[in-house]
Amino acid sequence: MDIVHERSVGMDISKRDAKVCLRVPGKVRGQFTSTVTTWGATTNQILALRTFLEEQNVTVVVMESTSDYWKPFYYLLEGSLPLMLVNAKHAKNLPGRKTDVSDAAWLAQLGAHGLLRASFVPPEPIRELRDLTRARAVTVQDRTRELHRLEKFLESTGIKLSGVVSELTGVSSKAMLEALIMGERDPQVLAQFARASMRSKIPELTEALTGMFGNHHAFMVRIHLDRIDQLDQTIKDFTKRVETMIEPFRAAREALITIPGVSSLVADVIIAETGADMSVFPTSAHLASWAGVCPGSNESAGRIKSTKIMPGNKYLKAALGIAAMSASRSKNTYLSVKYRRIAGRRGRVKAIVAIEHVILTATWHMLANGEIYQDPGADYYLKRDPEQAKSRAIRQLKTLGYEVSITPAAA
């Protein structure tokens, strides 16, 4: 097997240290020697490792993406050494006598022969933006969970407010909860806190607010509401910071939100996760494969075993899922028509994945070539093959019992 890198390094990283295997040519032509050393995971130790590897004139340094332990090594070594971060699944060692030392030697050997693909690690500005968007997404999830806890707790009091209002933290419902906490127990008085269109539901609110609410319940609801308010403020702080960090990529975001279903929040995630630099992905298919929104490839002996989608970037997939669901509900757009066509044949889940793929493909072309999104329109499939559309319509009318004759319209 050909040697691509004569001086390669493999690193097996753990929380406390890293096993580093240096593979260099031996005294006999065609032979190589491997030396494994252990280096601590502290900053000073990593800097010393960097100096050592620079002196060895290595041409590739391979490390596995193990949890978050690879980050201090990668961030301190990047710029000085030719790094390659690889997926642990792609560099899986043979079972048997598996140790950290053998893993490091295996990585060095695979790197020397060029058998590994580097994972995408964005530059520092994108990493900072990614930290913000991911933290915001997690905080939104925490807020949703806290709302669920509040709703479940209210069940123990007999208060069925969530059965009447759509949002427990809305203006009307929050005013009622605050009144309950302050000691008001009369359902009719509580229902009068309804605002705007909610006042039409005062009879239902009166019934829903009849319960066994006591001082203990008031304490618990106060804690839940305060926690939700804190999370709301945290989300606002993250969003404000994102608006500052997104400034160099504002043109890209403005372009992305022209895609049906893609909001500014979704566009922020797309930019943070992909880096807005499509030169990393040779084609739109590479981007879709990396994101995990295309059929998998698992074929052996001419038999296709599975085509289910592969694991991908979960934050990007979550944002694309929101965009796809929104696009499927849009009116008079190509994406909504495509969704209905696929959902009718293969189900809603696969239709959503297909729309995610279309959105990501459009994203690649827009960011790679500077193209502007132009919706093909709801009549795209009619215009693409008008004869087929005409034949389908005639068949459907005949199935309903109609005699059909076609007369071309006057020009």
Q: Is residue 330 part of a domain?
A: yes
Asked if 262 and 353 sit in the same domain, the reply is: yes
The amino acid at residue 93 is: N
Asked if 211 and 260 sit in the same domain, the reply is: no
Gap between the Cα atoms of 6 and 4, Å rounded: 7
Asked if 129 and 240 sit in the same domain, the reply is: yes
Nearest to 91 by CA among 1, 2, 11: 11
Q: Which of 223, 245, 267 is the last residue of a domain?
A: 245
Asked if 13 and 76 sit in the same domain, the reply is: yes
Asked if 273 and 194 sit in the same domain, the reply is: no
What pLDDT, on a 0 to 100 scale, did the predictor assign at position 215?
92
Nearest to 324 by CA among 365, 290, 363: 363
What pLDDT, on a 0 to 100 scale, did the predictor assign at position 94?
60
Asked if 263 and 236 sit in the same domain, the reply is: no
Gap between the Cα atoms of 33 and 6, Å rounded: 11
What pLDDT, on a 0 to 100 scale, did the predictor assign at position 97?
65
Here the tokens at position 118 are 């580097």
Asked if 232 and 316 sit in the same domain, the reply is: no
What pLDDT, on a 0 to 100 scale, did the predictor assign at position 378?
87
Q: What are phi and psi of 337, to 5 degrees?
A: -65, -45
Gap between the Cα atoms of 59 and 39, Å rounded: 20
Asked if 352 and 273 sit in the same domain, the reply is: yes
What pLDDT, on a 0 to 100 scale, did the predictor assign at position 1?
66
Asked if 213 and 132 sit in the same domain, the reply is: yes
Asked if 348 and 253 sit in the same domain, the reply is: yes
Asked if 33 and 75 sit in the same domain, the reply is: yes
User: How crowded is the C-beta side of 337, counted as CA atoms within 13 Å?
Assistant: 11
pTM: 0.85
Q: Is residue 254 part of a domain?
A: yes
The amino acid at residue 122 is: P
CB atoms under 10 Å from CB of 382, counted, come to: 15
Q: Is residue 100 part of a domain?
A: yes
Q: Is residue 56 part of a domain?
A: yes
| E runs forming strands in 233-391 | 298-300, 303-306
Q: Is residue 267 part of a domain?
A: yes
Domain at 62, CATH number:
3.30.420.10
Q: Is residue 400 part of a domain?
A: no
What pLDDT, on a 0 to 100 scale, did the predictor assign at position 96?
62
Gap between the Cα atoms of 58 and 81, Å rounded: 8
Here the tokens at position 137 are 């997404």
Tokens 């093959």 belong to 385
Strand partners, 233: none
What are the mean pLDDT values of the chain's consecutive 10-residue runs (411 residues total)? 82 89 83 88 93 90 86 90 84 69 85 84 91 95 95 91 88 92 90 89 90 91 95 96 93 92 94 90 90 77 72 89 93 91 90 93 91 86 83 86 80 58
Give the structural domain span for 130.
125-245
What pLDDT, on a 0 to 100 scale, did the predictor assign at position 277?
87
- Reduced to 3 states (helix: H, G, I; strand: E, B; else coil), residue 149 is helix
Q: Which of 112, 136, 168 is the last residue of a domain?
A: 112
Q: Is residue 350 part of a domain?
A: yes
Determine contact, residues 270/245, Cβ cutoff 8 Å: no
State the pairing for strand pair 60-64/8-13: parallel
Q: Based on the structure, what is the number of domains in the chain?
A: 3
Gap between the Cα atoms of 202 and 194, Å rounded: 7
Asked if 218 and 129 sit in the same domain, the reply is: yes
